[in-house]
């Protein structure tokens, strides 16, 4: 990780410019969201927070600084997902890696069952449940 002083000075870093939509449970945009999120993390040189629980070289960065950057990465993550998804993955005193892994598991571990559920939902859509054709 590079010098975190710039990141810590401006923790927002306009995540909405990098990810212009919110990831939701209902959409199948996880792969797009994850790639955009990783690009944002690479641009700010914090990609290691998605793969590591602690600094790989403690002489280069203190645990306190690492934890502050974890909080920033978590806030980016939480700012770009829906409230329902946030409620599903949030945990007290977590790390960016753990939250990242929970999101990944939510969307990829149950891919087959989600596909079946969405197919079932799609096949059971009835036009009379909608007020007009554009809504259908």
pLDDT of residue 49: 92
Q: What are phi and psi of 4, to 5 degrees?
A: -80, 0
What pLDDT, on the 0 to 100 scale, is given for residue 81? 94
Residue 13 DSSP one-character state: T
Instruction: Return d(Cα 25, Cα 85) in angstroms, integer.
Output: 6
Biggest alpha carbon–alpha carbon distance for the chain: 65
Q: What average pLDDT values come out for the chain (136 residues) when binned by 10 residues?
A: 56 76 88 95 92 78 89 94 91 94 85 69 77 75
Q: Rounded CA gap, 136 and 129, in Å? A: 8
Q: Which residue has the tokens 């892994």?
A: 101
pTM: 0.72
Q: What is the pLDDT of residue 14?
A: 77
Domain assignments of the chain as residue spans, ordered by start: 5-110
């Amino acid at each position: 990780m590079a010098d975190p002083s710039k990141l810590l000075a401006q923790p927002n870093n306009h995540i909405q410019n990098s990810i212009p939509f919110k990831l939701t449970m209902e959409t199948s945009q996880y792969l797009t969201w994850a790639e955009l999120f990783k690009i944002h993390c690479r641009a700010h040189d914090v990609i290691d927070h998605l793969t590591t629980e602690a600094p790989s070289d403690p002489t280069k960065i203190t645990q306190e600084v690492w934890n502050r950057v974890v909080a920033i990465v978590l806030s980016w993550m939480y700012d770009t997902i829906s409230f329902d998804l946030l409620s599903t993955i949030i945990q007290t005193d977590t790390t960016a890696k753990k939250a990242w892994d929970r999101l990944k598991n939510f969307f990829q571990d149950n891919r087959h069952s989600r596909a079946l559920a969405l197919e079932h939902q799609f096949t059971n859509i009835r036009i009379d449940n909608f007020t007009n054709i554009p809504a259908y």
